[in-house]
Amino acid sequence: MSCNVYQPHLLILPEDEANKDIANGFQQSFSVNERSLQILPYARGFSDVLRQFETSQAPGLRRFPPRRILLLVDFDDRGVSTPSEFSAIARRLEYIRGEIPDDLAERTFVMGVRNEPETLRTEVKMGLEAIGRELAQDCPQEKSFLWNHPLLCHNEPERDRLLKSCSDFLFRSF
């Protein structure tokens, strides 16, 4: 479903099919206003996310000021032993942030699993779409088992930024 480009909305650009499955679950959550969210076709890897962002999405962000975008990537961090050590994650996030033009940085968000979604699926014993639904339901909550999981807790600063920018239109109030 396409969003009204003149109203606030969030696009999600997933890196691969597994990330797209998580995004689909997020969109399916009853707490999400599905008309304010559009999932783009998945890229075919990390570098393709950046290429698509630069060539296809950045012009639309400039043309439609209410638009925001979430780049949903794998951080491919396999060598870190404790959740407090995010060196590979920090490097990848710094690299991605360096590729985002200054005029779009405030409306561009970068999140993802510490290594790969399949690892998260195995650890929490949930399907990828179920993970997405739970992430959506818990996104506005301070305390969340899934958002605080060691494979996702590094997203906290971006989640806070996303909530400040998007919660008014992205989540339904009950």
Q: What CATH architecture applies to the domain 9-170? A: 3-Layer(aba) Sandwich (3.40)
- pTM reported for the whole predicted model: 0.92
Residue type, 127: G
Domain boundaries, the chain: 9-170
In this predicted model, what pLDDT tens digit does every residue of 78-128 receive, in sequence order?
A: 654 455 555 778 888 899 999 999 999 999 999 999 989 999 999 999 999
pLDDT, tens digit (0-9, with 9 covering 90-100), for 125-155 = 999 999 999 999 999 887 788 999 999 999 9
Q: What Å distances lie between residue 99 and 5, 46, 66, 85, 135, CA to CA?
A: 24, 12, 21, 23, 27
Give the burial class of 14: count Cβ atoms within 10 A of its Cβ; 0-12 exposed, 13-18 middle, 19 or more buried. buried
